[in-house]
Amino acid sequence: MILNTVRDFMLKEVHGLGIAKVASLDAEKDKDLVLEIFHKAAALGLCGVSIDEKFGGLGLDFNTGLLFTEGLAGGFSFATTIGCQTSIGSLPIAWYGTEEQKANYLPKIASGEWGCSYCLTEPGAGSDANSGKSRAVLNAEGTHYILNGQKMWITNGGFAEVFTVFAKIDDDEKLSAFIVEKAFGGIELGKEEKKMGIKASSTVMVFFNNVKVPKDNLLGERGKGFNMALNILNSGRIKIAAGGCGGMKFGLDKTVEYAKNRIQFNKPIGDFGAIKQKIGKIASELFAIESGVYRTGANVDRKHADLLKNGSSENDAKINAMREFAIECAILKVQGSEAMCNTADEAIQIFGGMGYSMETGVEMAYRDARITKIYEGTNEINRMLALAEFYKRAFATKELKLADAKSFLPKAIFSNYNPFNASGFLAHEFELVDNLKAAFMIITGSAGNKLKEKLVEEQEIVMNLADILSMAFLTESAFLRVQKLSENSATDKQELAIKTNMAKMYLYDALTVARNAANTAIDSYATGIEKIILKRLMRRMLRTYNINPKDTRRAVADYMIDKGGYYF
């Protein structure tokens, strides 16, 4: 119901404007129209999906919130406006605020009376957010912090009434966070940025000039703002992937419709193998990303429930449940954004000249998608973050039990497995998934032993390792989903066959990605006999998956063309 409500709203209020109007929307000259749509969304409750019911929100569980984000994707630039309001704009208060702060701000945010923004990035502090220069000093009376600083790339900043601002108190090394109202005075907004995409989304610089912030508006603990920022971004990262799923479905539906109706050489272009290859690849990537997104979302909800059951406060349960899955969020942000950008690119290719024209709106989707590889941390930063978080949990906090993970390594290394003798549904596939995990463990361990603390400086190797880790996680997610569906007697057999083919196609491509990443990493640090042994192991473990990729992709594409898109 939530998903259909959001989709119907976007079709009526955004698509109803017409492609030409949507493509020409500008955050500055069309501010009134954008705000009109924003307030219509708020009237439906769409601004309060992440806010508890007692504060005027819908109080959705995290996984349903991801589905909401997926539904937004068809709203082009407007998806960014609502996405900010319901995610990074309001979550700092919803997760870290006192009861008084929540009661004061969340009802107005949920109702849409107040737009909200998240102010972290500065001209000299992007990926290195903790190097920001913004400062807050307690006044002589001890009643207010005097805030000075400059923030940039602030989404919704042009109409926000409340800002979550990250700044250092006095000479602190770590950031703190503050709830800052526009009404406090001393806030100056820059002009709306002229951007490549998401043009109707408000993006401005915000200047804080001796802003008097009440002492009670310190959000969370002093010096804990950086940790807060990271955890809020974890939520934003997985939501980018969820939005990516919505964008990919929208793009796939449009390309399938065009491929069925565009006639060349006396038949629809959807009949040609070159087009089917593209459609099949998009669908397979979408299936894997979708599987990873909602698997992780469900796990966040389970962790949240467990923490509450064991005595955690509501705030702590939300915070720690999200933190638990930081690695998965980073993986999904990277792979989801890259898959969405690939979909937009291939959509233009399938549409040909019409795709390059503004008339169809496909080129707008291409421009809008590109930002997803940059915000919430660039994809390069997120690849490195995934590895850094893995190392921290494996060796510093000991949260990851590597002894358990090592139990399957001997099998992966020494097995004389014959894929033609596999027994049981997906037995061969799950062994290859285990091999992806084992390959990651072996190269990570080898690189760590060889480079030690210098590994963190070898960013190319770290990103190679992150790609192997990503392929292991997403292939496992896809096949766990297929396995679960196979155990449900109500599952349609044809649908199960297509979903199995999508998972198989993703695994086929994932092994290629992992094989290249593994060999590149090994060539970048290993020498002599170690290099020879590692490469032999990778050839054995990341061997070619014995399927026919052409026929598998075509089967997936034919299903999508027959159904008119990704209708599961």
74 within domain boundaries: yes
pLDDT score, position 419: 47
Last residue of a domain, one of 203, 219, 235: 219
Q: Domain limits at 512?
A: 400-563
Long-range contacts, 221-226 (Cβ 8 Å, 24+) = 221/176, 222/169, 222/172, 222/176, 223/169, 223/172, 223/173, 223/174, 223/175, 223/176, 224/174, 224/176, 224/177, 225/166, 225/167, 225/174, 225/175, 225/176, 225/177, 226/129, 226/130, 226/166, 226/174, 226/175
Out of 376, 389, 429, 476, the active site residue is 376
Shared domain for 47 and 134, answered yes or no, is no
Domain total in the chain? 4
Q: Active-site residue 376, yes or no? A: yes
Same domain? For 233 and 214 the reply is: no
Residues 100 and 133 occupy one common structural domain:
no
Token pair of 126, please? Answer: 């992007």
Give the pLDDT of residue 394.
Answer: 85
Determine the Cα–Cα distance for residues 149 and 225; give it in Å rounded to an integer: 16
Residue 7 is part of a domain; what is its CATH number? 1.10.540.10
- For residue 387, is it within any domain? no
Shared domain for 505 and 413, answered yes or no, is yes
Q: Are residues 187 and 232 in the same domain?
A: no
**Does 392 reside within a domain?**
no
- Domain boundary at 98, 115, 132, which? 115
pLDDT of residue 453: 86
Confirm whether 395 is domain-assigned: no
One domain, residues 554 and 542: yes
What's 172's domain CATH number? 2.40.110.10
CA dihedral (137, 189, 223, 47) positive or negative: positive
DSSP at 395: I
394 found inside a domain? no
**The token pair that represents 524 in the structure block:** 């970048």
210: left (phi over 0), alpha (psi -120 to 50) or beta: left
pLDDT at 408: 61
Other residues' Cβ atoms within 10 Å of the Cβ of residue 426: 18
Residue whose entry in the numeric block shows the structure tokens 């034919």:
558
The pLDDT value given to residue 395: 81
Residues 312 and 341 both lie in one domain: yes
What pLDDT, on the 0 to 100 scale, is given for residue 54?
96
CA distance 122 to 494: 52
Mark whether 364 and 416 lie in a shared domain: no
Same domain as 457, residue 316:
no
Last residue of a domain, one of 163, 184, 219: 219
Distance CA 491, CA 505 (A): 21
CATH label of the domain that carries residue 409: 1.20.140.10
Q: CA–CA separation, 259 vs 364, rounded Å?
A: 19
Q: Pairing relation of β-strands 203-214 and 144-155?
A: antiparallel
The encoded tokens of residue 407 equal 């139990």
Query: Do 141 and 233 belong to one domain?
Result: no
**Looking at residue 568, what is its pLDDT?**
84
Q: Are 427 and 554 found together in one domain?
A: yes
Token pair 């421009």: residue: 367
In this structure, the answer to whether residues 307 and 404 fall within a common structural domain is: no
Per-position pLDDT tens, the chain of length 568:
999 999 999 999 999 999 889 999 999 999 999 999 999 999 999 999 999 999 999 999 999 999 999 999 989 999 999 999 999 999 999 999 999 999 999 999 999 999 999 999 999 988 888 899 999 999 999 999 999 999 999 999 999 999 999 999 999 999 999 999 999 999 999 999 999 999 999 999 999 999 999 999 999 999 999 999 999 999 999 999 999 999 999 999 999 999 999 999 999 999 999 999 999 999 999 999 999 999 999 999 999 999 999 999 999 999 999 999 999 999 999 999 999 999 999 999 999 999 999 888 899 999 999 999 999 999 999 999 999 999 898 888 888 877 776 666 656 666 555 544 555 789 999 999 999 999 999 999 999 999 988 998 999 999 999 999 999 999 999 999 999 999 999 999 999 999 999 999 999 999 999 999 999 999 999 999 999 999 999 999 999 999 999 999 999 999 999 999 998 8
